[in-house]
Amino acid sequence: MFGKWKKKTSLEISSPVKGEVIELSQVNDPVFASGVMGPGFAVIPEEGKIFAPLTGEVATVFPTKHAILLKSSGVDLLIHMGIDTVELAGKGFEVLVEPGQKVQMGTLIATIDLGCLIQQDKDPVILTLLPEYTGETVLQQQGPVAEGTLLMNVTRP
């Protein structure tokens, strides 16, 4: 009866890195490109500084330092740094946050050594994914962006 009066939460998601935004379908990995890991976007990085794309809390830092899971308003957001970078076992990554830590959009959360990833023959693309999100998403911009550029708005019922 009162369901129609429930407030929906709108969540803004920005680019976590300076670079070139591309659709997930353009990523050089069939799992990510297919959307199996959830909707989102990818950025080919120009720099190795990774910033929080939303305001929320750090839920998980993967032991191999290649991925960070953030939570905000009941939405999970995964920042996956590079393709097949789990194989590097943390080499080339420095994570600056820990689980339970609150972050603001724009907080520096990690750095990656792009040269190290390229030297190890790893694609350094930065993926921003909503693993369990089933609502509609619209990528607002493609091409060159600065970190912090608003790229997606999602609504959480």
Residues with a known catalytic role: 80
Side chain identity at 138, as an amino acid letter? V
The single residue listed with the structure tokens 């890195």 is 17
DSSP 103: E
- Decide: residue 157, CB within 10 A, 0-12 exposed, 13-18 middle, 19+ buried: exposed
Nearest residue to 18 (alpha-carbon basis) of 38, 60, 47, 53 = 47
